[in-house]
Chain A
Amino acid sequence: MEERSLAEKILRELQYNFQEFTINGFISFIGKKRGRQIIATPWNMPPTVFGAWMSDGEEPKEYIFYRDNAQIIHQVHIQLHELSHFLLGHQTLQIDRKMIADVLEGKATLPFSELLRLRSPAHSDLETQAETLAALIQQEVIHRSNLEQLTTDLSSEEKLANFLRTMGLS
């Protein structure tokens, strides 16, 4: 219950219009709100790691890495989960410009092994918090999109849609 109250508080403070939700739009909104540039990138993650969030120690940037071979629905979820860690102010690994340059040149790999495995027992409270916030975000998105889908119900056939309007049935 504590996790849910915390998640609800964070979501209230965001004041985001979930009717306009897209994952990229949401990430960009959070970045602006928190004064950080958030870069979400698909990545070839090591086994058993779905996603990771790392912070830039020199510039106001946050990096979110997620599995490049996962289904889109899963990728969106992983991004929301990692974004939730950031929103909750959890601690994460700091990386610097040199490391990023080395990774891009292929001289180094990202230090995923230093991150604790996703939902590991040692960090289960933090993971539960992040998962609860991600679930709450999803609940809001689904609630809004569902209503929208059911209220914009005119036919996909234009002539029929015009007919419904004319008949006052829409």
Chain B
Amino acid sequence: MNLPIGLSLCIVAWTLTLVRFKAIQWKDIRKDNGIALHVWLTMVFFSTTSIFLIKKFGDFFDAYTFNNLDRLFTYCSILASMTFGAIASINAVSKPPERGAARRLQYSLTFVIIALVAIYILFIARIPNINYLVPRSLPEAGFMLITFSFGAYLCFTVGRVYLAFLPLETSPIMRTRTRLIILTAFIACAYFVVKIATVGGHYWPFLASQALIDLSSILLVVSALSFFSALLGNNMYVRVTMISRNIHSWGAFKELRYLTGQLLRLCPDVIMPISNPSFWRFVLNPEYYLYRTIISILDGNAILDDLLSEGALCGELPLWEGDTLRDVVMMTHTLQCVHPSEDFWEIVSEYQWASRQLMQNKFPSNV
């Protein structure tokens, strides 16, 4: 990895690790079944890896120790980091608790490290420094393949555990954080898969292409940034969640405006005109504008049902004729298909559907 990117990643990694070290409430460390400790160890080993990812440091380190020792440290530390992360994930969110799975990961890590150290002592320490990404000998290929395969498996495990957990999480901010963890896990998994492909470049040269090597570097940086983003404090998440929710709500509001506009046209005496906020005004209080829109729709829906019910207008002049009457019937029919719910967001979503239906049916008919 080139110096500016490697150094930046290293600084970010160590800063966050030390910040979290200070923030951890060590006296409560046992309360969470060691999850916080495992996550912090994940950060420590990841930060250690980030040092060895700086090529100049790696060369310097090897010059004063043994050939390729930086590579052994990099592989062992990244795998230790990911194993602790996977164990923390399993302990934190898996249902039912998979204690056996966490223990199996620990044993697997021990086995993998022993295998890597053995290959290193027997072969890798005896060859000149590896300054290339595609292996040139069978021991190098084995050394890399073991690391990348186990890495891919660990990432997949974390992604799978959090994917199963996501539907159970009700906190909006934790859902955002969980999505980011899933994204990180699968990007990292993709990184290892690409690395496995480049190992195959030893036998099939087309897999040793520069494009794949560049892709692996990009995936590594993105997954590292995404990993540390998942460990940021809540204030940042509150902002991100609010922004994403507000943008989503704006889309819903615009869709619902079509429905309210048509209801206003059909029942002008009943529906209170709804204010037409700008995007910036809307995002200051999106739920309020959506709520008022829904109330107007419910008013209009109820009044249409009443007026169309048998005997409601007995002896009075008809309110609608011709095309307008057809619109009223179509509107009522569409609104009757809306499923009642007590959940506000489900109500919004149902009326969005109704609004879309009316738009698709080229409503109103006289236009």
Taking beta carbons and an 8 Å cutoff, which residues of A are in contact with B?
Answer: 47-48, 50, 67, 70-74, 77, 118-121, 128, 131, 135, 138-139, 142-143, 146, 149-151, 153-157, 159-160, 162-163, 165-170
Contact = CB atoms under 8 A, between A and B. Distances in A.
Contacts of A154: 171, 174
B173 A153 contact: yes
B122 interface: no
Contact of B238 (A72, A150, A156, A168): A150
A47 B307 contact: yes
B238 A153 contact: yes
B335 interface: no
A69 B309 CA distance: 15
B39 interface: yes
A167 B23 contact: yes
B36 interface: yes
Contacts of A139: 285, 288
Given A142-B285, A166-B28, A170-B234, A159 B294 contact: no
A143 B231 CA distance: 28
B174 A159 contact: no
Contact of B92 (A72, A121, A163, A170): A163
Interface string B15-58: 00000101111001101110110011000000000000000000
22 contacts: A48-B307, A48-B312, A50-B299, A71-B342, A74-B295, A74-B302, A77-B295, A119-B270, A146-B285, A146-B287, A153-B172, A155-B174, A157-B165, A157-B169, A163-B35, A166-B25, A166-B36, A167-B23, A167-B40, A168-B22, A168-B23, A168-B233
A121 B303 CA distance: 16
A77 B249 CA distance: 21
Given A47-B306, A74-B298, A165-B25, A120 B39 contact: no
B102 interface: no
Identify whether the interface residues of B are mostly helix, strand, loop, or mixed.
helix
Contacts of A72: 342
Contacts of A153: 171-174, 234, 237-238
Contacts of A151: 238
B340 interface: yes
Interface in B247-293: 269-270, 272, 285, 287-288, 291-292
Interface string B235-250: 0011001100000000
Interface of B: 20, 22-25, 28-29, 31-33, 35-36, 39-40, 88, 91-93, 165, 168-174, 231-234, 237-238, 241-242, 269-270, 272, 285, 287-288, 291-292, 294-295, 298-299, 302-303, 306-307, 309, 312, 340, 342, 344, 347
B297 to A, nearest CB: 10
Contact of A50 (B20, B35, B91, B302): B302
Given A48-B306, A139-B285, A157 B93 contact: yes
B272 A119 contact: yes
Contacts of A67: 302
A166 B38 CA distance: 12
Contacts of A73: 294-295, 298, 342, 344, 347
Nearest to A168: B23
Given A119-B269, A150-B173, A155-B174, A47 B29 contact: no
B173 A165 contact: no
B164 to A, nearest CB: 12
B292 A135 contact: yes
Contact of A155 (B169, B231, B306): B169
A162 B298 CA distance: 42
A60 to B, nearest CB: 30
Nearest to A166: B36
B90 to A, nearest CB: 11
